[in-house]
Amino acid sequence: MRLNGDLLAWAQELAARTGRTLDQVIEEALRLSLSVSKKARRRRARLPTIRGDGLQPGVDIDDTAG
């Protein structure tokens, strides 16, 4: 694995300041990032609906180009 130099320095500084190993800091950051990402995927989108007569003539819902 290869990390950006600035990012690695930042992680090393945090590890030294908090008395943890570099591995611990990286693992915690990765866990946090993955858990936030997982929560974002679970969130359901609410789409507005409008009452009407259903699909209008000539509208192809499989055609996303316009």
Domain range annotation of the chain: 5-39
What pLDDT is recorded for position 65?
76
Integer Cα distance of 15 and 8 in angstroms: 10
66 or 21: whose pLDDT is higher?
21
- What are the pLDDT digits (tens) for 9-54? 999 999 999 999 999 999 999 999 888 866 666 667 777 777 777 7
What pLDDT is recorded for position 42?
66
Neighbouring CB atoms inside 10 A of 25's CB total 19
Residue 27 tokens, joined: 């693992």
Integer Cα distance of 63 and 45 in angstroms: 22
19: alpha, beta or left? (left if phi > 0; alpha if psi -120 to 50) = left
